Amino acid sequence: MKRDYYDVLGISKKASAAEIKSAYRRLAKQFHPDQNPDNKEAEKKFKEAQEAYAVLSDEKKRAAYDRFGHAAASGGFPGGGGGPGGQTYTWNNETGEPIDLENLADMFDFSSMFGGAPRQGGGSPFDAFFGGAGRSGRTRQPRSTPPPPADVEYPVSLTFERAVRGTKLDLDLKIGGREPQRITVKIPPGVRQGQKIRVRGKGTPGRNGQRDGDLYVVVSVQPHPYFERDDDNILLTAPVTIAEATLGAKIDLPTLDGTRTVTIPPGTPSGAKLRLAGLGIEHGPSGKRGDQLVIVKIVPPKRLSPEQKEAMERFAKQDTTNPRGEIW
């Protein structure tokens, strides 16, 4: 049985978006496979945190989850085509809640709409509402053209790596009057948060010779424990010691293409950016990639031994530079 998403992230149901993101980042760093090789339990908790964040970080999905629980969440992601009770749902863009496409008539109280009066000539409430026999006995003319087919949005959640590299998704769909079907959707490399991938003809079926509506796969990208995106560049904050920044050093850092050794020049200040060319995100059909920018962050030691403290005090007495001299 799945755990409650709020319990997974260790937050309350009133948690803000910032608290949700902070909780996810903490768990992602703790259980990331790179930090826990061959640890199945850590891998399970990492995926569990990803799934919980994918739902709770999205206002519409969170609202649906708060109302319907895991049944609502399973209807909005790859591999799950159903909603509560096994029915077929799509998402209402206004309320963020699932809509039962097979029982749409249940959403209307036709008895109150027509005053509960009997309808001349029989027929269903739909007949009276959409042009059949009304209380006046007159028959409305049918519309000259049927309404256009509806496009359908289908939200998916991708890890940072899958969004950057591109991927293929197998989606199990049941839309409108269609038979259940599985389709494969190609997600291009470098897809962004909120980007929509159009799949022609997979939306609501057209009527009276009209074309079928389209399916729009709406991408949500999960945050990475230590990478961030800046256009086509990837940002990575690299903590270094005072000695490494002052004397220079070679340090190993992660990239999308594996570990790279980066040279820290002597006298590197905190906040300096080092560029790793061509290790960023692929841009469009050209296949060109952005860069990875390493942001240096000097981290002083929290505790000093007596010898280290004496050495630092001796250095401070001999240092005549004033780093704040230019701000006046």
List pLDDT tens digits, range 193-216: 999 999 988 888 777 767 888 889
Give the pair of three-digit tokens for residue 200.
């022609």
DSSP classification of residue 182: E
Residues lower than pLDDT 50 in the chain:
76-137
Burial (Cβ within 10 Å: 0-12, 13-18, ≥19) of residue 115:
exposed
Question: 168 with 156: CB under 8 angstroms?
Answer: no
What pLDDT does 247 receive?
A: 93
**How much is the mean pLDDT over the chain?**
78
Task: Identify the CA nearest to 225 among candidates 168, 159, 274.
Answer: 159
Tens of pLDDT, residues 140-173: 555 556 666 678 888 999 999 999 989 999 988 8
- CA dist., res. 100 & res. 107, Å (int): 9
Separation between Cα atoms, residue 169 and residue 220, nearest integer Å: 14
Domains along the chain?
Answer: 1-57 (1.10.287.110), 69-103+149-222 (2.60.260.20), 227-304 (2.60.260.20)
Considering the chain, what percentage of its residues have pLDDT values greater than 90?
Answer: 34
**pLDDT computed for residue 273 by the predictor:** 95
Sign of CA dihedral 120, 122, 127, 131: negative
pLDDT of residue 144: 58
